[in-house]
Amino acid sequence: MSAGRTNISPAVSLQRNRDSPTRDRNLLKIAFKIAVSAALIGWLVYGIDGSALADGLSQVSFPALFLAFAILLGLSAVQACRWVFVARAMEVGLPFRTAWVIVLIGLFFNQTLPSSIGGDAARVWRLRRAGVPVGLSIRTVLLDRLVALLALLVIATAGLPALMGWIGDQPLRWAVPILLFAGFSGFAALLLIDTPVLRKVVSMLRTDEIVALGRSAHQVFLNPRCLLSTLAISLFIHATVCVSITVIGLDIGADITFWQMLVLFPPVLLLSMVPFSVAGWGIREGAMITALGFIGVPPAIAFSISILFGIVILAVGLTGGVVWLASGGQRPKADTTIDQPPTFP
C-alpha cells in the first residue's frame, strides 16, 4: 500500500455506490425544475410588452411591499396556531412557540429547496428531533396541509359562479369544477380508509401507514371543534393572502378588488403547488396571467403582480432562514419536548 493512501471498506464502498444513483437522480430533478422555471418565465417575458412590464415593476412602492411582507410574516404565526390545533387533535402536544419556529424554518426551505414540499420535510425533521415518531410527524404535517387544501376548495366552490361567469365559453370552463370534484372526492376517500371494509383491504396491501393516516384524518376532520377551528383559521389565512396580493396590485395600478382576488387566486395557488418548478416560479406567473386575464388585467400587470408577490414570499422565507441559523438546528429544550397528552381547547 502506497503512503498516504486510505483503504475504504467494502461496506462503505457499497453504500457509496448505492447512494450515487439516488444523488444523481436528485440532481437531475433539481436541474429539471430549474429549467422549467427558467423556460416558463423566459417564455412569458418574451410574449409580454417589455415597456409595460418595466412600468409595472417600477411603479411598486416600498411601503406596499413592506405591508405585504408584514401580512405574510404575521400569517406564519396564524399557520402555527392551526398546526397546534391539528396536532392536539392527534394527541400531540405541540407548543405554539415551537410550532412557529418550525413553520418559519419550513417557509425558508420552501423557497430554497426545488420543491413545494421541502418545507414540510423540514417540519417533519424538526418534529422528529423533538421526540415525535416519524410516522406521526408526517401525519401532523400532512393533515395540516390538507386542512389548508380543504379551505381552498371551499373558497373556490363559493366563488365558482363568479368564476364561471368570467370564464364564459372558453375551454377552461369545466376545468375548475372537475378539479373541485376530484378534490372533495379525495377527502371522502381519505375518511373512508379507516372504515372496517377498507381497513381490511388496505391492511392486506400492507400499507399500515395509509390506515394510520385515515385514522388521524378522523381525529381531525370528524372532530367538530377541531375542524371548525382549523377551517376558520385556514379561510382567514387565504383571505389575508389575497389582501396582500390586492395591496401589491393596486399599488402598481391594477384594476382589481379583494373579492376578485379571493375568487381568482385559489386556482393559481393550487397550480403553483405542482412540483414541476422551483417554489412554483413560472407556473404561478402563467396561472396569474390567465386568471387575471378573465377580468381584463393586462398580462404585463398580472406578471408584475406575481413576480412581486413571489419576491415578498422569498423575503418571508429568508426571515425563516435567519430563524434557522439562530436555532442552530439544535434539538428543542426539554420544556418544549413534545410528549404530553393534551386535550383540544
3-state secondary structure of 74: helix
CA–CA separation, 109 and 40 (whole Å): 22
Q: Contact, 294 vs 176, CB < 8 A?
A: no
Q: In the 8-state DSSP scheme, what is residue 172? A: G
CA–CA separation, 306 and 268 (whole Å): 10
Sign of CA dihedral 290, 308, 34, 74: negative
Q: Contact, 263 vs 162, CB < 8 A?
A: yes
- pLDDT, position 132: 85
- pLDDT, position 12: 47
pLDDT along the chain (345 residues), means of 10: 51 51 71 84 84 83 94 95 94 90 90 70 85 88 92 90 81 78 82 64 61 83 91 95 95 92 88 78 88 91 93 93 79 40 36
Which amino acid does the sequence have at 81?
Answer: C
- What does residue 170 show for φ and ψ, rounded to 5 degrees? -70, 160
- pLDDT, position 14: 45
Q: How many CB atoms lie within 10 A of CB 106?
A: 27
- pLDDT, position 340: 40
CA–CA separation, 314 and 74 (whole Å): 15
CA–CA separation, 96 and 100 (whole Å): 6
Place of cell 410574449: 47
The helix (H) or strand (E) run that includes residue 280 is none
Q: How many CB atoms lie within 10 A of CB 21?
A: 9
- pLDDT, position 197: 54
- pLDDT, position 17: 53
